[in-house]
Amino acid sequence: MTQEFDFIVVGGGTAGCLLASRLANTALKPTVALLEGGGDISKPEYRRTAERFSTIAQPGLDYGYASTPQEHAKNREVPQARGKGLGGSSATNFQVWSLGARAEFDAWAAAAGDDAWAFESVIERLEKLHLNDLSEEWAEYVKPDPKYHGFSGPIDVSIGHVERETKAFIDAGVDLGHKRNLDPNDGDLIGFSLNSTTSLNGVRVTGASAFLEKNVPANLTVLTESRVVKIIFEKDRAVGVLKEDGSQVRAKNEVILSAGALDSPRLLLLSGVGPQTDLNALGIPVVKNLDGVGKSFTDHPMIVTCFQMKSGFTDRMGLTDPSKYEEAVKQLAESGNGPLLGHFSSVPHAFLKNDRAYESPEFKQLPADVKSYLLENGVPSYELVIGPLIPPDHVFEQSSDGFFSVFVANMNSVSRGTIKLASADPKDAPLIDPKYLSNPFDLVNLREALREGMNLLKTSTMKDHFVRPIFAPKSDSDKDIDDFIQENVAGLWHPSCSVKMGKSEQDGSCVNGDLRVHGLNGLRVVDLSVTTILPRSTAVIVAYVIGQLAAEKIARDYGLDTKRREKI
């Protein structure tokens, strides 16, 4: 028997969980189906903040996609993470809550022709932050401004227990001439800072835990293990979806894709929405010739480095003994307390301009509008962030030794890639081609960013703790750094822009500011694929904002709830 609902949300990820819950809880109580290809992944072992860097490696939590061979990265096939299960990538990410620059969101709004996507509008929708009582020792390192945070939504966001190396990282940045930024979420994120995290008291919050664990209304149906393979159209209107098992689910009002930047374009293409030439080549009947589908794909290209440090530099070695770790897990489960609250609890960042890269011939060859945007106040060139031990099986000479691991990421990649179909068979993974480093400036930018990351070890704050590199370029020469980048570059798990937003299909976009697919009825896309640019945000915060704005726009269009605006 075919099921029918007022709204179908395809994808129970970060944005999808929020959107389905918001729609179902409006005053008119429409029937909503949330279809998720994975299962319920709410196990305690998936929710511990102490394991924020390793959750993504848990079996069954990721679709296992990989890129096509990357021409400018030694022809490597690079893993492309996509969260599988309720909560999606919010259940597997690094839990960082970081908003982008004011100029980035304002540029997005201008491209979409809709001020709902501008910075001030976005801030109105971010209303939840738990602030721990930090000691006076940390007052000069972190001081969130209440104007840019809120206290009334369901997503737990906190500044966790601060780890020892956080202070060293920020002080080393100051040694290099950079500023401290007491609140990187105020629209200007330049400087060294301590970011918030999507957890509270050592426990991760996900899209599912925030929106689907409590008070789920009877008019919301959650269908797990229900992978969608095609959108069903009647002429130019989406009327339902076809599941992998051959069954159909029908929509009275709308089908809403929230399958992420890798699978939303894939579903559109499988359903006959995309570049006509590509669809014809695969024998897929064309419903809508929409050239932008799968184009403009981007991520934050990333490199990881790791250095051995002397005993006493880090707090992160205290639980390397498996028996001690298991005891800490038991203590957290039984009392909500213990050493796990402080293990990998801090996420210090630096968002920086890259003056050396801006002086390069490669920068000067960029289009004028790109150069102007990159030079805007508050728009960073790159990010530095403390990470886990790389490689994780590294053996130290002494058990008391420590490590300092730095992720280095390009924040505004100029290269753009594609998402295409390998065939018309839904079982085949998409052809994901990020085209890492295909624009020469991206390599220059990442090179100078990596060089600055290594310079941290030379500062007065760090040099006496440094022992040797564990995973790093052979030297700080251009050639050795470039080789290291090309051998190891990957994405920061922020895939975006593959079904981008704009004013019309003539500008290469796929959806308008209301998230409706150009030229079609009853179909929207609500996930990171719609971003016009990839803001220097963590993907989770943007996904939640997209879901919230979509809920407001859909409620407005259907008169579902005219009296209430909820906050994230």
Annotated binding site: 93-96, 228, 493-494
Place of tokens 């299909």: 505
- 8 Å CB contact between 491 and 302: yes
Which tokens is 265 given? 């374009």
- List, in sequence order, every residue forming a beta bridge with 220; answer none if it has no partner: 32
Binding-site residues for FAD, in ranges, read: 93-96, 228, 493-494
Distances (CA, A) of 483 to 263, 306, 381, 383, 389: 32, 17, 21, 20, 22
Q: Round to whole Å and give the CA distance between 546 and 84.
A: 19
- Length of the chain measured in residues: 568
- 8 Å CB contact between 434 and 299: yes
Q: Round to whole Å and give the CA distance between 34 and 17.
A: 8
The amino acid at 215: N
Q: Which of 400, 358, 361 is nearest to 376 (CA)?
A: 358
Q: Round to whole Å and give the CA distance between 433 and 435.
A: 5
Q: Which of 155, 146, 95 is nearest to 123 (CA)?
A: 146
Count of alpha carbons within 13 Å of 89, Cβ hemisphere only? 28
- 8 Å CB contact between 530 and 511: yes
Per-position b or e across 528-549, b if 16+ CB within 10 A of its CB = bbbbbbbbbbbbbbbbbbbbbb
Q: Which of 238, 231, 207, 118 is nearest to 513 (CA)?
A: 118
The rounded Cα 389 to chain-centroid distance in angstroms is 21
With 0-12 / 13-18 / 19 or more C-beta atoms within 10 angstroms meaning exposed / middle / buried, residue 396 is: middle
SS3 403: strand
Which tokens is 360 given? 């390069």
Place of tokens 């279809």: 35
Calculate the dihedral angle through the C-alpha atoms of 289, 293, 296, 299, rounding to the nearest 10 degrees. 180
Specify the DSSP class assigned to residue 394. P
**Interhelix angle for 14-24 vs 539-558, to 10°?**
30
* Rg from Cα positions in the chain: 23
CB neighbourhood size of 27 (10 A): 12
The dihedral built from the CA positions of residue 177, 195, 351 and 74, taken in this order, carries a sign that is positive
